[in-house]
Amino acid sequence: MNEVETKSNCRKFLVKIVKAALVTAIYGVIWFLIWLLFSSFLGDLFLQFSTLYWILACASLFFTFAIRISENTIYKYILIILRSFFLIVYIAYSTNFGVLTVNFEGFAFTVEFIPLLAIMVAINLLSVARGIIQAIEFSAQTPEE
């Protein structure tokens, strides 16, 4: 019986990995298509932000895969909370804390959107709170046997 259960568990885990990889691959294609559209329409202007874009895309793909793999475990909620904290730090850093300056052919264009940044941070803090509440609810459930 033990060998049969091990094979069954390995098969379930393999199916979970394949599903997570497929979902992540679909998201990866979407991120790549968005990059192609932005780079073709904005050209040199987008190249200034290309590194920041790829950091966001790779982090998003990592968290998508990790959250899908850790389905039905407490780690899922920990990863959701970590993703929210990452987005807070990323948004603050990438927008220079709410003041975005774009240089375009000798012309500097500065946009200050600190209130919008505060709203985005507040939304991610709500996501953190939601993840904590879901983790508490998950840990309070009795295991079904």
**85-103 pLDDT, tens digit each:** 999 999 999 888 888 887 7
Q: Which of 17, 139, 109 is nearest to 68 (CA)?
A: 17
Judge if 85 and 35 occupy the same domain: no
Please tell me whether residues 83 and 62 are part of one structural domain.
no
Question: Do 74 and 56 meet the contact criterion of CB atoms below 8 Å apart?
Answer: no
Domain count, the chain: 2
Same domain for 11 and 58 = yes
Look at residue 1 in the predicted model and tell me its pLDDT: 52
Same domain, yes or no, for 18 and 40? yes
Task: Please state the pTM of the whole predicted model.
Answer: 0.82
pLDDT-based confidence at residue 4 (cuts at 50, 70, 90):
low
Q: What is the pLDDT of residue 144?
A: 67
Same structural domain, 92 and 42: no
* pLDDT for 142 beyond 60: yes
Query: Are 80 and 55 members of one domain?
Result: no
Task: Determine the pLDDT at residue 124.
Answer: 95
More confident residue, 12 or 69: 69
Could you tell me if 64 and 1 lie in one domain?
A: yes
Residues 81 and 115 in one domain: yes
The helix (H) or strand (E) run that includes residue 101 is strand 99-104
- Are 5 and 61 found together in one domain? yes
* Distances in whole angstroms, Cα of residue 4 to Cα of each of 1, 12, 15, 83: 5, 12, 17, 37
Tell me the range of 109-113, 124-128, 138-142 where mean pLDDT is highest: 124-128
| Predicted confidence band of residue 128 (pLDDT cuts 50, 70, 90) | very high
Per the model's pLDDT, the better-predicted residue between 31 and 42 turns out to be: 31
State which residues form the domain around 45.
1-69
Residue 43 has pLDDT above 80, yes or no: no
Q: Which of 69, 101, 124 is the last residue of a domain?
A: 69
* Domain-ending residue, one of 69, 102, 124: 69
